[in-house]
Every structure is written in C-alpha cells, then in structure tokens.
Structure 1
Amino acid sequence: MDITPSTRASDAERNAIVAQLGTHLADGRLDLAEYDQRVAKVYATATRDELAVVLSDLPALTSEQQAAAVAEHKPPVRIPVWQRIEAGSWLGVSLITVVIWGLISLTAGELTYFWPMWVIGPWGAVLLFRVVTGWEATPGTQTHLRQLQKQMKHVQHMDPHKPH
C-alpha cells in the first residue's frame, strides 16, 4: 500500500516536524520569530506536502537527531477541566463541612464526632479511583480505547451497499 504525499497529515507527524524545528532552533538555524511562524504553519497544514515545505530549506537531520528531537518534545500532561472542577468542588465542600464541624465543636466546648468524614471520604475515594484507573473515557485511556473498539465493530458490521 503506497501512501501518496498528498495524504492528510496526522497529529503525530505534525509533532515530529515541530520537534525537528526545535532542533533547528537549538542549532541556530532558525531564530525564535521564524520558529514561531513555522510551528504555526505546521499546525495549520492539512497534508504531508505542506509539512514538507516547512522543512524544505533546512538540512535533513540524522536519524539520531530526529529520534532525540521527538523524545525531547513530549506534550505536557494536562489534567482535564472536568477533573479540576470535580476536585475543586470536593475540596470546597470538604472545607465547608470541616468548618461547620469546627464551629459545632467550638460551640459545644469539646470535639464532637467527626461527621465530615462521611462526606469527604467516600467522595474523595471515588474521585481518586476514577483518576488513578482512568475510569472515565478520556481520549487515550483504556476505557476510551475499548469504547472505540466497540464502535468500530459495530461500524464494520454495517454494509452501506446492503439494503436494510
């Protein structure tokens, strides 16, 4: 199967080109402004032909340099927005319940039963479990991949040429 150069570029290919541009920047072949322009162009391109144009006036990197560039250019790990919202809600509710418990204990003149643990504990345990196991279908997690595989099996059984 021969892939023509005008095929659409993948995100991995774009990231590899950006990593190579980073190597050229570090070697002094590009200044920062030109590097920024080329990176913007890389992420705006749709096909492999357009990606090749970005590197056309730069010398080819050796395979060792390319491997090192790709290894150095790892995208940062980001915590999804919904997880930050859930964690913030949990923390806020936890603080409120502990403050209420503290005020009740202060009013009673002694430490009362620590009932906030029944709010903080189970909710926190569920959040921790979901983050550690990747229970949600965040792109790239095992759960997400299983869901995609199920969808692909369903799509493969559908034949658009067969009347229903």
Structure 2
Amino acid sequence: MSSPLPDVPEPRRPDVRVGDAERQAVVTRLKAALDEGRLDLHEFDERAAAAYAAKTESDLTPLTADLPEQHPQPASSVTARKRLTSGESSWIRLAVLLTGIWLITSIARGEVTFYWPIFPLGIWGLVLLANRLTGRRD
C-alpha cells in the first residue's frame, strides 16, 4: 500500500527505537499544526495516536513530513519580560511616596518610627498578588 503522505523524507536511522521524549515532541508539533489550522481534529487524533504507538524513527517521520519546518520565533521585548499592570505601577509609586513620608517623619522625630506604610501597601499588594495569580488584569 502506498504512503498517504507524499515525499516522506527518510529518517536518519529508521531502525532506531524512539522514547517518550521523541514521541511527545512529535505530538507537540502536531498540536501546533492543529492550532495553526494545518490539521483538522480528526487528522490530529490519528497522527497523535500513531505517534504514541511509534516504536522507531521510521514510524514518527511520516507523521510530520507534510508540515512546514518549525522555526522558533524570537520573543519580543514585550513578551520576553513580564509587564507591570497599571495597578502594580501605581503601587510602586505609592510605596515610594509613603516610604518617603515615613522617612521624613522618622528623621524629624530623631528616631526610627514604626513603618506604618506596611498596612496600606500590604493590603493593596495582596489584592494585586491575588489578581495576578488568578489571571485577572486591570
């Protein structure tokens, strides 16, 4: 029976057994192709099942032969680092302001006073942390 996939490249060493990492890499690539619309759900299911059942490289090679090569895209500067939300930026500005007021009052009194900004900053910080952990953004 002929292969349903045209021009399947020969595996480097077709008789070499594959492990879970190689199988998972193929399934990850198939999932990316599904997300891009290159495969429909039925094709993905068939190929993923075949990938998990693969024993050798020659079993895996045809599963991605008709898909374009994946090239990692460099992360943009915006996505490479986590951006602060406006709430977090405001919290930082308020922390600087309140700490400045606390510092001035401590110097004026001639002694280190209780760090009272911990209360408003702590409460607001916990709210911001909860929002970040639950995925809510402002």
Shorter-chain TM range is 0.3 to 0.5
Question: Which has more helix, going by share of residues?
Answer: 1
User: TM (normalized to structure 1)?
Assistant: 0.38
User: TM (normalized to structure 2)?
Assistant: 0.44
